[in-house]
Structure 1
């Protein structure tokens, strides 16, 4: 075998240069799923950080995942970040939703902020119309 008679450092160097590159090229491995530290004969227990040699287990088949949902601006087609601001005045609360294009620090929303007024009743939000809001203030 190629590894007979090699010292510890030579064996590690052989693994890093030849064997590992062959495995990575043939399997197209991205990341290990589990690491197991290897102990040399006569060596005390070691943890993952101080182990000289580790046995890495790889997944040969990666499961595909659906990407997360993003909000896109209807006019520009760019991704939006949403921020909700809640303003409370007495019993009436207003929820203001701002939208900003991702990656553009100076962008202002094309649409005006959306306002929604509501009153909290038993931990649920009850929406209010403008007429109801003026009646409550009077």
Structure 2
């Protein structure tokens, strides 16, 4: 990440792709505050975020445990004028699942305008197992159409 940051800093022209790439890199390293700083810098530079940038930002929050910062679906719609896609909702399920906020993860799944993906439900099953919530684990397992013992 130090080398990536050095290259980024040396660039005379930064765009949505370069910002998004660095945000994603910091996110994968669990450095959500750095990702947020870059996102804020990107916005202040007048570079508009797109749905891919928002996936990188939400993923960074999820990998860093930044639950409060990560609750930005409404902000995506109202501020950035980006309609959330299933990938954004999936990041939210991951964010809440990692934090043990399983009911919030279920709420995301039940109110989103998409059918939940298998990966999204598997994430919820895994988080439910970690946090010992067999009720939600059974619900998500049934949604996956898999027997609980599988």
TM-score (norm 1): 0.20
More helix by proportion, 1 or 2? 2
TM-score (norm 2): 0.19
Q: Which structure carries more relative contact order (alpha carbon 8 Å, separation 6+)?
A: 2
Return the index of the structure with the highest Cα Rg: 1
